[in-house]
């Protein structure tokens, strides 16, 4: 409570969500200028729910999640805004306090489990270490707990495999071991940064099932960072689409995937191959590249790649950054786009291209 009295602004008067990120900015000073990797990101997440953050490489997904973990401390990153976890602003707590929260309240699993584990220590040693740092237990107890967790994530013969080195595990088993390490302290928030990208497709599904299963048991909030819309469709309650360091569309997962109102989201959906779709369906990549975060364009960051700027008229897209405004479909769905009738454009122009069989005659 002393933390709270010192920083009264850390506790919002409103009954905020379990995790509430408000206007988060992560800027890096480089010799070429300031890189605005994340620029004014806000979202909420409740326990037991999953938020999917989608976007291209360099859109600020991982930088934002590292900010929640406090991994930018001690670097040249400049952070502002609020990250309220259970009412405590993680940007304002001391380094030592943040260290204690890491792995205990907030845990993270990474994209490539081979490089994310130390090659010279056994899997068991690394999992035990995560438990021992936050719990005053003997080595024997920690080992027992590590074996329990390995068993829980589906490693066969965990009492034997606990002494294996990471290179002796398969890719899927390594990611399971990483999940065991992440969940060993029963964290309330788990951030999974592209947890299935480095894995084979059959293993991907198993890992996602495991995460959902564990989420039910541990009642954890999960942020899943991905560029795979299939993962989002399977896992996410809410979806946040990021582009050039900003949220460009945010809302319930089903809404975003069925009634997207932002041309960038349309582009993402158009570029997903679907094995079950008719062969008429086109696979359309998004042309161009994301803008430089050093010199972002003054208007909508997606404008140079957008095929729909003519629908707005004038040069509004090029000069003015659109605000996040409620989407036409209503609810909590918000979008950052100047197109007024985006829902109609989607149904009339985009849907027939990407999923002709869904269009009603």
Partner 1 sequence: MIGFVIRRLISAVLVLFVISVAVVALFTYGPSDPAQAMCPEPKCTAERQDAIRDALNLDAPIQVQYAEYMSGIVNGRQIAFGSEAYDCDAPCFGVSFIYRVNVWDDIKDRIGPTVSVAVGAGATILLIGVPIGMFAARRRGSAADKAVIGATLVIESIPYYLFVLLAFLYLAAGAGIFPQEGYHPLTDSPLKWAWGLLLPWLALGLVNSSKYARFTRGSMIEAFNQDYVRTARSKGLAESRIVNKHALRAAVVPIVTIFGIDFGSLLTGTIFTELIFGIPGLGLRALNAVGQSDLPVIEATTLISALIIVITNLLVDLFYSVLDPRVRLG
User: What residues line the site for partner 1 (CB under 8 A)?
Assistant: 69, 71, 99-104, 107-108, 110, 112, 115-121, 126, 129-130, 133-134, 165, 167, 178, 181
Least separation in angstroms between residue 126's CB and partner 1 is 8
**Residues in Cβ contact with 236 at an 8 Å cutoff, skipping those fewer than 6 apart:** 50, 51, 52, 224, 253
**Residues in Cβ contact with 23 at an 8 Å cutoff, skipping those fewer than 6 apart:** 40, 41, 42, 80, 81, 82
- Please list the residues that pair with 325 across neighbouring strands: 335
Nearer to partner 1, 110 or 250 (CB): 110
Alpha-carbon torsion (100, 180, 238, 288), positive or negative: positive
Nearer to partner 1, 116 or 236 (CB): 116
- Residue 81, token pair as written in the block: 């805004």
Nearer to partner 1, 73 or 318 (CB): 73
Question: Measured between alpha carbons, how far is residue 339 from residues 124, 334, 335, 354 in Å?
Answer: 54, 13, 10, 20
Least separation in angstroms between residue 99's CB and partner 1 is 5
Least separation in angstroms between residue 137's CB and partner 1 is 15
Least separation in angstroms between residue 165's CB and partner 1 is 5
Read out DSSP for 187-227? Answer: -SEEEEESTTTTS-HHHHHHHHHHHHHHHHHHT-EEEEEES
Residue 158: in which H helix or E strand, if any? helix 158-161
Nearer to partner 1, 132 or 259 (CB): 132
Nearer to partner 1, 134 or 227 (CB): 134
**Residues in Cβ contact with 43 at an 8 Å cutoff, skipping those fewer than 6 apart:** 20, 21, 51, 238, 240, 247, 250
Least separation in angstroms between residue 134's CB and partner 1 is 6
CA–CA gap between residue 351 and residue 337 (Å, rounded)? 18
Least separation in angstroms between residue 105's CB and partner 1 is 9
Nearer to partner 1, 141 or 164 (CB): 164
Question: 265, 315, 314, 271: which is closest to 54 by C-alpha?
Answer: 265
Nearer to partner 1, 47 or 100 (CB): 100
- Residue 48, token pair as written in the block: 């037991």
Nearer to partner 1, 35 or 117 (CB): 117
Least separation in angstroms between residue 109's CB and partner 1 is 9
Least separation in angstroms between residue 145's CB and partner 1 is 14
Q: Where are the beta strands (DSSP E) in the chain?
A: 19-30, 33-45, 50-54, 77-85, 88-89, 106-109, 189-193, 221-226, 238-243, 246-252, 325-326, 334-335
């Amino acid at each position: 409570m002393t933390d709270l009295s010192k920083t009264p602004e850390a506790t919002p008067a409103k009954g905020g969500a379990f995790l509430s990120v408000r206007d988060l900015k992560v800027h890096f000073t480089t010799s070429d200028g300031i890189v605005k990797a994340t620029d004014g990101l806000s979202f909420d997440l409740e326990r037991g729910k999953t938020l999917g953050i989608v976007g291209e490489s360099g859109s600020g997904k991982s930088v934002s999640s590292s900010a929640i973990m406090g991994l930018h401390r001690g670097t040249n990153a400049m952070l502002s805004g609020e990250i309220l976890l259970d009412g405590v602003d993680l940007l304002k707590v001391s380094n030592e306090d943040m260290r204690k929260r890491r792995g205990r309240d907030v845990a993270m699993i990474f994209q490539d489990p081979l490089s994310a584990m130390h090659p010279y220590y056994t899997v068991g040693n690394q999992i035990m270490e995560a438990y021992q740092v936050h719990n005053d237990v003997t080595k024997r107890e920690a080992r027992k707990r590590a074996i329990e967790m390995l068993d829980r994530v589906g490693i066969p013969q965990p009492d034997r495999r606990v002494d294996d080195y990471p290179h002796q595990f398969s890719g899927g088993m390594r990611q399971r071991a990483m999940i065991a390490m992440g969940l060993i302290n029963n964290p309330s928030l788990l951030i999974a940064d592209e947890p299935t990208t480095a894995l084979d497709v059959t293993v991907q599904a198993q890992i996602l099932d495991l995460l959902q299963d564990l989420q039910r048991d541990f009642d954890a909030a999960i942020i899943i960072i991905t560029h795979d819309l299939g993962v989002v469709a399977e896992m996410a309650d809410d979806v946040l689409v990021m582009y050039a360091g900003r949220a460009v569309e945010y809302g319930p997962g089903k809404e975003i995937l069925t009634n997207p109102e932002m041309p960038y989201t349309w582009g993402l959906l158009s570029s997903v191959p679907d094995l079950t779709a008719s062969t008429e369906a086109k696979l359309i990549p998004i042309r161009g590249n994301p803008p430089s975060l050093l010199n972002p364009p003054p208007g909508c960051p997606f404008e140079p790649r957008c095929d729909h700027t003519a629908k707005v008229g004038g040069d509004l897209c090029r000069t003015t950054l659109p605000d996040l405004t409620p989407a036409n479909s209503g609810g909590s769905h918000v979008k950052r786009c100047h197109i007024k009738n985006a829902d109609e454009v989607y149904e009339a122009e985009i849907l027939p291209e990407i999923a002709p069989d869904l269009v009603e005659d």
